């Protein structure tokens, strides 16, 4: 069972190339500050802009640098089922602990298509699979009924829920017959998601405030609800600031202020506005992270 604070790791760039030295710095920073896992090549890692070779090397490097200190959940999704199979098989062969697979974007598959997409990937690989349901980016929304059917497949073990619908985990858990891992994909409601039966959060904020994020989840797991609430309140302004513009623009700027990497994103994401930069910097200063 995956749980706790799991950063959706940013991909650093320099001169339009992946900056692997900065990636190593970021990964060690996240692990040393208590993160409970890592997700390379997800939305926050700008996976749609990565070449096949870059995608695979980032996953390989993350697994190598993590060196089993924390689990690695590799982002292996695609709107092309055969490509998702290829990425997932590669992650499995590279030693990833699980694969995070997004619902296919742009194609707008039916619920039947979603079921067959995930089943096909599961049939052709042997790695645990976490469904990534994010209708705000992929347009399609996997229904509770489809997720329940997929949960009957042994290797499909959980969901990253980025719907921001806090009733959904309750409705799903009530109907689910097996053990299933529930991970929030929304920093601002992650604590509320834990209260609804969640196990952790695949987080954007944890890229730049990993210690506070890990302490929040550890406090929750220890039953120290008041401490978790206190940390959550501290983080609330930063959670908001990191989504004022399209992510990961703001969080990469925050990471640059911390000296972790360059602020650069790949097109079609452009540099964030000056007002956003001021907001992000103020939030980091408020948390004494600068």
Q: Which residues are catalytic?
A: 132, 160
Question: Which of 38, 166, 163 is CA-nearest to residue 103?
Answer: 163
**d(C-alpha 87, C-alpha 89), whole Å:** 6
Exposed/middle/buried for residue 112 (C-beta within 10 Å: 0-12, 13-18, 19+): exposed
Which backbone phi and psi does 34 adopt, to 5 degrees? 90, 10
What are the distances in angstroms from CA 170 to CA 34, 174, 184? 28, 6, 13
Number of residues that this document lists for the chain: 290
3-state secondary structure of 142: coil
Residue 245 · residue 270 · CB < 8 Å: no
DSSP codes, 198-261: --EEEESGGGT-HHHHHHHHHHHHTT-HHHHHHHHHHHHHHHHHTTSSSTTHHHHHHHHHTTSS
Angle between helix axes 81-94 and 52-66 (nearest 10 degrees) is 30
Which two structure tokens, joined as six digits, stand for 195?
């209260």
């Amino acid at each position: 069972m995956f749980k706790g604070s799991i950063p959706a790791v940013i991909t650093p760039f320099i001169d339009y190339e992946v900056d692997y030295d900065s990636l190593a710095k970021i990964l060690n920073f996240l692990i040393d500050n208590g993160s409970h896992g890592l997700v390379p090549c997800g939305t926050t890692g700008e996976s749609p802009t990565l070449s096949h070779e870059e995608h695979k090397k980032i996953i390989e490097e993350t697994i190598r640098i993590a060196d089993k200190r924390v689990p690695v959940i590799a982002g292996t999704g695609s709107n092309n089922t055969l490509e998702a199979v290829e990425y997932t098989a590669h992650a499995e062969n590279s030693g990833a602990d699980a694969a995070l697979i997004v619902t296919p974007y742009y194609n707008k598959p039916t619920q039947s298509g979603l079921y067959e997409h995930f089943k096909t990937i599961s049939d052709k690989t042997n790695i645990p699979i976490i469904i990534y349901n994010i209708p705000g980016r992929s347009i399609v929304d996997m229904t509770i009924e489809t997720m329940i059917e997929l949960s009957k497949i042994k290797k499909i073990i959980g969901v990253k829920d980025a719907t921001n619908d806090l009733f959904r985990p309750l409705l799903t858990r009530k109907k689910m017959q097996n053990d299933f891992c529930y991970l929030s994909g929304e920093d601002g409601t992650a604590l509320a998601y834990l209260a609804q039966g969640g196990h952790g959060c695949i987080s954007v904020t944890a890229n730049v405030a990993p210690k506070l994020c890990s302490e929040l989840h550890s406090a929750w797991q220890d039953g120290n609800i008041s401490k978790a609430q206190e940390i959550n309140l501290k983080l609330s302004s930063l959670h908001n600031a990191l989504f004022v513009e399209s992510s990961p623009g703001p969080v990469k700027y925050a990471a640059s202020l911390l000296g972790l990497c360059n602020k650069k994103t790949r097109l079609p994401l452009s540099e964030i506005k000056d007002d956003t930069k001021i907001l992000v910097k103020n939030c980091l200063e408020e948390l004494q992270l600068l």
